[in-house]
Amino acid sequence: MVALVNYIIVSAALLGIGVYGLTVKRNAIRILFAIEIIVNAANLNFAAFTRYMNPAQVTGQVIVFYSIAAAAMEAAVGLALILVAFRLNSTIDVRKLDKLKG
Amino acid sequence: MSLVPPDLIFVILAAVTIIGSILALQAKELIYGAVALAISFIGVAGFFVFLDAPYLAMLQIAIYVGAIVVLILFTVMLVRRGSLDEMTDRAEGGEGTVGLWLAGLLAIGIAGVAALAGPNLPTDTQPASLPVSSLGPVLVTQYPVPLIILALLLSSALLGALILAKVDK
């Protein structure tokens, strides 16, 4: 029997992995991976909570629907930004993209 | 603290998802990382099937695996080979340790709170027999404004991405 707790634990593990990637990785595309993993953790939580707390409604699924669409456009814009940054600086190492520091 | 022993399928799905996401971040080559990310997304789609949300599972596979990962793969392969993925991804100094501590504390904290609250959380409900078609009316009648905003946002984001990535001749 799978309980809500199990989903929360899996989601927390995914969130932890994503935060690790966000803080440690230097390649901008890896950071995009980490963001997608965190969004997936959130989606999993929404779906699990709506299934266990309020199974007669689909509100949580609607939220996940919007979230997936938002993640899709975020990936498109993020990759375009990474491409532009690569073209301008010939690197996507986020530690070296510090021109705005002045 | 009584954790309900989960089914075998759940354990396998959790292992696929978590190992896939770890590999996505730690794989040597960016291409392998993207493939591992796709496997992790498929694991999450399996969770959606488990949660009586087949439409979300379909959406997850179509958009995440079919669009986002393929977009990442194309970007990695189109940009000059060796410049993107040969870059060292090693953390310098204490960065790795700090990141590990932060991520571990966050995950263990949330999981610990959830496990403590475990007895009060619902373990199982009566099988929800909501058909897939019940999502559509809710989407159009209860949340029409977010839907329209989402459509506008999607088209503007795609246009913006096109303009950003355009090469000026």
Whether B22 maps to a domain, the answer reads: yes
Only one residue has tokens 């996401």, namely B21
Q: Does B98 touch chain A (CB under 8 A)?
A: yes
B35 vs B70: CA distance, rounded Å: 9
CB < 8 Å to B118, chain A: 3, 5
Whether B33 maps to a domain, the answer reads: yes
pLDDT, residue B83, reads 59
ipTM reported for the complex, 2 dp: 0.90
Whether B134 maps to a domain, the answer reads: no
A4-13, A28-37, A60-69, A89-98: lowest mean pLDDT where? Answer: A89-98
Residue A42 distance to chain B (closest CA, Å): 11
Please determine, for residue A1, whether its predicted confidence score (pLDDT) is greater than 80. Answer: no
Whether B127 maps to a domain, the answer reads: no
Q: Mean pLDDT, 10 residues at a time, over chain B (169 residues)? A: 63 93 88 92 92 89 91 82 57 72 87 80 66 84 91 92 81
Whether B119 maps to a domain, the answer reads: no
Whether B147 maps to a domain, the answer reads: no
Answer yes or no: pTM beyond 0.90.
Answer: no
CATH for B53: 1.20.120.1200
> What is the band of A66 on the pLDDT scale with cuts at 50, 70, 90?
very high
pLDDT, residue B20, reads 94
pLDDT, residue B86, reads 53
Partner-chain contact A61 B55, CB within 8 Å: yes
Please determine, for residue A89, whether its predicted confidence score (pLDDT) is greater than 90. Answer: no
pLDDT, residue A71, reads 92
pLDDT, residue B130, reads 74
Q: Which residue has the higher pLDDT, A78 or A102?
A: A78
Please determine, for residue A102, whether its predicted confidence score (pLDDT) is greater than 80. Answer: no
Six token digits for residue A59? 């509100």
- The structural domains of chain A, ordered by start, are 4-90 (1.10.287.3510)
Q: How far is CA B70 from CA A9, A79, B94, in A?
A: 29, 12, 34
Q: Sign of torsion, CA B38 B36 A2 B117?
A: negative
Buried b (16+ CB within 10 A) or exposed e, B99-137: bbebbeebbeebbeebbeebeebeeeeeebebeeeebee
Total number of domains constituting chain B: 1
CB < 8 Å to A47, chain B: 47-48, 51, 53, 56
Q: Which of residues 13-52 of A touch B (CB under 8 A)?
A: 13-27, 29-30, 32-34, 36-37, 40, 43-44, 47-48, 51-52
Q: For A3-59, what is each residue's pLDDT tens digit?
A: 888 888 999 999 999 999 998 888 888 999 999 999 999 999 999 888 888 777 888
